[in-house]
Amino acid sequence: MIAHLASLLTPLLRLIDPETAHGIALRALRLGLAGHQSSADDPRLAITALGLTFPNPIGLAAGFDKNAVALAPLAGLGFGFVEAGTVTPLPQPGNPRPRLFRLTEDRAVINRMGFNNDGLAAYLAKFNAFPRGLVPAGANVGINKTGADPERDYPALVAAVAARADYIVINVSSPNTPGLRDLQGEARLRAILDAVNTALPQRPPLLVKLAPDLAPEGLEAVVETCAAAGVQGLIIANTTIARPKTLRSPAATQAGGLSGRPLFGPSTDILRQVAGIASGRLILIGVGGVATGAEALAKLKAGASLVQIYSAFAYDGPALIPRIKRELLAALDHEGFPTAAAAIGADLK
């Protein structure tokens, strides 16, 4: 009955302002109105990566639950892992509303949220309460818009979340915080990673989330910098500032980062490039436009060990999770892979 209510609620939420709808969805999740996975995942979907076991490779990307208020209900929907944030040291309101836009005709979203969140103290109170043993939980950290010192703030954030996080993501790729993407430059990124390593040599696996808009030479420099600094993985990729000519929605002219279906091709191409550069030295998480099991398999074949979704979940709601896993199993069978793990990097071999 609850799952049926969730399926009815999802199309109704699409009729109202997207940020308001997002808030309602989080409240519904906290109240247990979104349903719960009724059976264990097929063992063929299990992935071992980053020293962790994932029951399936389909995770929730950062941005949906910025303040870690609904992690347990989200895990209960059947995600293989969940990622909360981006959290900043101090609370900040983000950019003025409206700042979240549906591109329904394109199955896409544009956001210019600006790292709106309740700050680290409030985040930790919720994140640290997430029960161990459900699914792996990642903490995504970023810097405030004003008063930030990246070499000071990122190590402090990593240290603060390290006690509970199964993995930690350094976000240097959101297009909505002025100057943030400049931190992807080789020298600045190395300085941040060196500061993190000095402050916390023993920590959970560390990943860096990259933009899909890096030039090829910049991409190689970032990958080599991360590998040299002992980073365990990369998330490929964040939202894009590009606007493909194929976009049909009137909202396509809005400023901000584009996610959803139009990002699938470009982000998968970059994922494949990064996988070639990394040559197995880094675990990759593929994100960008995944809405079907076949698309999840394409990310795995391009070199990802894990896959994240966001926009498709916002459009389709909880029913997406069991469907995408069923489709992934069917796609694995169709292409002759015995397990999801066997498909990782198949395009590169």
Burial of 196 (0-12, 13-18, 19+ CB in 10 A): buried
Dist. CA 215–CA 191, nearest whole Å:
21
Beta bridge partners of 169: 140, 207
Dist. CA 114–CA 65, nearest whole Å:
14
Helix (H) or strand (E) holding 156: helix 150-161
Residues with Cβ within 8 Å of 224's Cβ and at least 6 positions away in sequence, in order, are 277
Dist. CA 64–CA 161, nearest whole Å:
18
Q: Check if 174 is active-site.
A: yes
- Measured from the Cβ of residue 26, the count of other Cβ atoms closer than 10 Å reads 19
Cα 175 from chain centroid (whole Å) = 15
> Choosing from 174, 267, 305, 311, which is the catalytic residue?
174
Dist. CA 174–CA 17, nearest whole Å:
22
Provide DSSP, 207-241.
EEEE-TT--HHHHHHHHHHHHHTT--EEEE---BS
Cα 300 from chain centroid (whole Å) = 15
Question: What are the residue numbers of the active site?
Answer: 174
